Amino acid sequence: MGGASLLPGSTDDALHEHFLSLTGAARPRVCFIGTASGDNHEYVAAFYSFFARRAEASHLALFDRRVDDIAGFLGAQDAIYVGGGNTANMLAIWRLHGVDSALRAAWEAGVLLGGPSAGAVCWFEAGITDSFTLELGPLRDGVRLLSGSACPHYDSEERRRPVYAREIAAGLPPGIALEDSVAAAYEDERLAEVVSARPDGRAFRVDASGEHPLAVRVL
């Protein structure tokens, strides 16, 4: 998800409903990981406010860790929703607690993985992030479940587009750019579909030759 809100009044409900539908379960088990926001309590509460009415919701906190067997806990889910925030800090903390390897095992077992912003960039080899500076820059050490790179917030943050083009020209792997309220679904490491919660949402494949619009289905 290039960007998606769980706050009351959000227009992204259709995106989250679609995320749940991809599990194929009537009432799926969904876990929230909010490491990128420092396990922010308001973010966790917003997750439960939406998902607990539609799924068996839980969360994995790492700043106040209560789960011993992380691999077992994540592997028992139908879906894992990773929240936005500081991608670089999130990845460093994940590696300290073994969450990255647990997520890979869950993914290999068929658990649906997703999320907005940091929760989108993290699955790729690389991406564009504001983890280090407000001017944005490259991140090159993602979890690497998907090849290439990703850039979220492609329409809502004016520096995203030129920085992504600049970094790809400098050697960052080509990849996908997603506007807010737009999500890309991957199956077997291949792009299966792009969907949008708004009628004008866009997505692009971006490489050294420029932007290439992708087909988007409005939910």
Given a contact cutoff of 8 angstroms between Cβ atoms, the answer to whether 196 and 217 are in contact is yes
> Strand 137-139 relative to strand 29-33: parallel, antiparallel, unpaired?
unpaired
**Annotated catalytic residue: which of 37, 58, 153, 196?**
153
User: 40 by DSSP, 3-state: which?
Assistant: coil
Which residue in the list 5, 37, 58, 117 is annotated as catalytic? 117
Residue 131 known to be catalytic: no
Query: Are the C-beta atoms of residues 185 and 194 closer than 8 Å to each other?
Result: yes
Task: Measure the CA–CA gap between 191 and 184, rounded to whole angstroms.
Answer: 7
Would you call 59 a catalytic residue per the annotation? no
Strand partners of residue 56:
29
* Alpha-carbon radius of gyration of the chain: 16
Amino acid identity of 92? A
Instruction: Count CA within 13 A, CB hemisphere, residue 70.
Output: 20
- Active site residues per annotation: 117, 153
